[in-house]
Each structure stands twice: as C-alpha cells, then as structure tokens.
Homo-oligomer: A and B are copies of this chain.
Amino acid sequence: MNKAGAKVWYFPDGYLPEKVGSGPMEAHEALMLLNTSSRPANVKLDFYFADRDPVKGVPVSVCAERVCALRLDHPEDIGGLAIPPLTQYAIRVRSDVEIVVQFGRLDTTQVNMAYYGAMGYSADECEEF
C-alpha cells in the first residue's frame, strides 16, 4: 500500500479554550496538515456542531512538500468562520491528494498550560466527495 496519507480525516473533539491565561503562549486549537506529495492539496474543511447545521466546504490549500498550520481560533485561517469558545465542535477534512492531519490544543486557562494532541481518524473517501 503506497500511501502518503489519506483523503478524509475526522476530529470529533474540538473545544476552543477561553483566552484568559497570561503566559507567553496563547490558548488555541490548530490543525496541522502535511502534504509530502509533489502537487498542491486542495482541501475542504467541514465543521460540525451539537445543535446546529454544519458549515461545509471551507477551502484551504497546502503547497507541495509543505506542512501548514491553521489556527482554529483565527477566522482568517478558516474562510472567515468564527468558532465560539467553550462550544463542542468537530472537523472533517477532505483533500484531493493524500495528506496527513493532526489536531492540537494548548490550554492556558489556569496558571500552567495543558496540551492535548491527536492524529485524526482517516478514510480514503467519503460520500460527499
């Protein structure tokens, strides 16, 4: 199986922390997308919530042989979408080339920071491609 990743990635546990810390690093969540192929990846992000319809098809791209970090608390990184803090959300990532995607949270709500990171669940395709 010759693979440079997967075309669909799922991340059920998104939850933006409050920005109340005073340390040198700001609380945030981010998505890291690695494209090791020789052509750019055209990616669509779908955001799911607990009690409203999903926001689908936010376009981003990842250059060939580059890693790209998207801040999920920066609307300008995700097509203008403002995710409210302290709200459960989930992400589906769809790409036209195989990529590898990881999720990270840095929480600084209290005096010291806490990390949580997860490789996504991946699939080769999904219905809505």
Contact indicator A115/B107 (Cβ below 8 Å): yes
**Of B36, B46, B92, B115, the contact of A126 (CB 8 Å cutoff):** B36
Question: Could you tell me the distance between the alpha carbons of A58 and B48 in the complex, rounded to whole angstroms?
Answer: 25
In the complex, the count of this chain's copies comes to 4
Question: Could you tell me the distance between the alpha carbons of A104 and B114 in the complex, rounded to whole angstroms?
Answer: 13
Q: Main SS of chain A's interface residues?
A: strand
Residues of B within 8 A of A68 (CB): 50
CB within 8 Å of B: which of A5-50? Answer: 5-6, 8, 10-13, 23-25, 32-34, 36-37, 46, 48-50
Contact indicator A3/B104 (Cβ below 8 Å): no
- For the complex formed, measure the closest distance between the CB of A94 and the CB atoms of chain B, giving whole angstroms: 11
Contact indicator B118/A3 (Cβ below 8 Å): no
Residues of B within 8 A of A67 (CB): 12, 48-50, 88-90
Contact indicator A113/B109 (Cβ below 8 Å): yes
**Of B12, B109, B113, B118, the contact of A24 (CB 8 Å cutoff):** B109
